[in-house]
């Protein structure tokens, strides 16, 4: 069974640009959550999608957005990039967003903003 | 509001010695508790979790953690560490019915040969 796939693995962008990251969940999983990991703030929840609907959102500015497609793949977008957006972005997939049956993380996308 | 405190940012320990990584949480409601491990340039791997039932949970690689409700703690222990256990360890909590995790700041475990 394939795991959670995040693409690309590494990305370098310039301040002011926008970026789109992709997450393909484990087959059959309908929930995808996104987290940001930085040395200063640690691991923080961005948002969760289930069946193409955002069900939960963390405390991030509106520059951070996401969506989920009918095949459960999810993308997150960051517009008007700032240096502080440099981070490892992790996604996690689960059957329904609950933890009883597994909540699996991908290897992440490391975004560097210069 | 939930919060997770990992009291030690770095823990050096000699190979084959025991180790305890401390985790305390605060929440006004019932919670699920987790330990994740992160190796360099990788994502998070679930080490063990407490959802309900026995307060002592074990992983397949010798780690164990005990949920202590009165002390709001979920400390991670291993009786004898190996070089391969060198990694960063994160404690996380989620409230019943929630679909997101709150993480501690992590503890970097370094096993010294």
DSSP string, A57-92: E-S--TTEEEEE-TTS-EEEEE-S--GGG-EEEEEE
pLDDT at A1 over 70: no
**Residue A23: predicted pLDDT:** 98
Q: Does A12 touch chain B (CB under 8 A)?
A: no
In this prediction, residues B25-29 reach a mean pLDDT of 88
CB contact under 8 Å between B45 and A31, yes or no, is no
Q: Distances from the Cα of A6 to the Cαs of A24, A35, A73, A109, in angstroms?
A: 6, 12, 10, 6
Q: Mark yes or no for CB contact B99/A56 under 8 Å.
A: yes
Could you give the CA distance from residue A104 to residue A76 in angstroms, rounded to a whole number?
18
CB contact under 8 A, A43 and B90: yes
pLDDT over 80 (residue A101): no
Confidence check: pLDDT of B91 > 70: yes
Question: In the β-sheet with A19-24, what is the strand arrangement from edge to edge?
Answer: A5-7, A19-24, A74-78, A64-68
pLDDT value of position A98: 80
Distance (Å, whole) CA B90 – CA B65: 13
Query: Looking at residues A57-77, what average pLDDT do you find?
Result: 97
Cβ neighbours around B96 below 10 Å, total = 13
Pairing relationship of beta strands B56-58 and A10-13 according to DSSP bridges: unpaired
| Side-chain-facing half-sphere of A3: CA atoms under 13 Å | 14
How far is the alpha carbon of B109 from chain A, nearest alpha carbon, in Å? 16
CA–CA separation, B11 and A100 (whole Å): 31
User: Residue A112's pLDDT is what?
Assistant: 98
Q: How many CB pairs under 8 A join A and B?
A: 52
Q: Which of B43, B51, B101 is nearest residue A100 as measured by Cβ atoms?
A: B51
- Report long-range pairs for A48-54 (Cβ below 8 Å, ≥24 apart): A48/A97, A48/B99, A48/B100, A49/A74, A50/A96, A50/A97, A50/B99
Tokens of A71: 């095949």
Residue B41 binned pLDDT confidence (cut-offs 50, 70, 90):
confident
Give the pLDDT mean for B76-91. 97
Question: How high is the pLDDT of residue B96?
Answer: 85
Give me the mean pLDDT over the B33-50 stretch.
Answer: 93
Residue B77 has pLDDT above 90, yes or no: yes
- Mean pLDDT value across chain B: 93
Q: Which of residues 54-93 of A touch B (CB under 8 A)?
A: 55-56, 58, 90, 92
Predicted confidence at residue B28, as pLDDT, reads 82
């Amino acid at each position: 069974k394939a795991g959670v796939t995040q693409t690309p693995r590494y990305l370098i962008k310039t301040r002011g640009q926008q970026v789109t990251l992709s997450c393909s969940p484990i087959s059959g999983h309908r929930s995808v959550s996104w987290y940001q990991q930085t040395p200063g703030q640690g691991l923080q929840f961005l948002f969760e999608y289930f069946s193409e609907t955002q069900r939960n959102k963390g405390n991030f500015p509106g520059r951070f957005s996401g969506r989920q497609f009918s095949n459960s793949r999810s993308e997150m977008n960051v517009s008007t990039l700032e240096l502080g957006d440099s981070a490892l972005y992790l996604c996690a997939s689960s059957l329904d967003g609950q933890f009883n049956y597994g909540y699996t993380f991908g290897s992440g996308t490391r975004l560097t903003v210069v | 509001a939930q919060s997770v405190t990992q009291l030690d940012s770095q823990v050096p320990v000699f190979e084959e010695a025991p180790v305890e990584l401390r985790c305390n949480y605060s929440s006004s409601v019932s919670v699920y508790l987790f330990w994740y491990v992160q190796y360099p340039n990788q994502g998070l791997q679930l080490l063990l979790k407490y959802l309900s039932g026995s307060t002592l949970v074990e992983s397949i690689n010798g780690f164990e953690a005990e949920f202590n409700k009165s002390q709001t703690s979920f400390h991670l222990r291993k009786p004898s560490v190996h070089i391969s256990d060198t990694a960063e360890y994160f404690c996380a909590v989620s409230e019943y019915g929630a679909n997101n995790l709150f993480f501690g700041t992590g503890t970097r475990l370094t096993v010294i040969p």
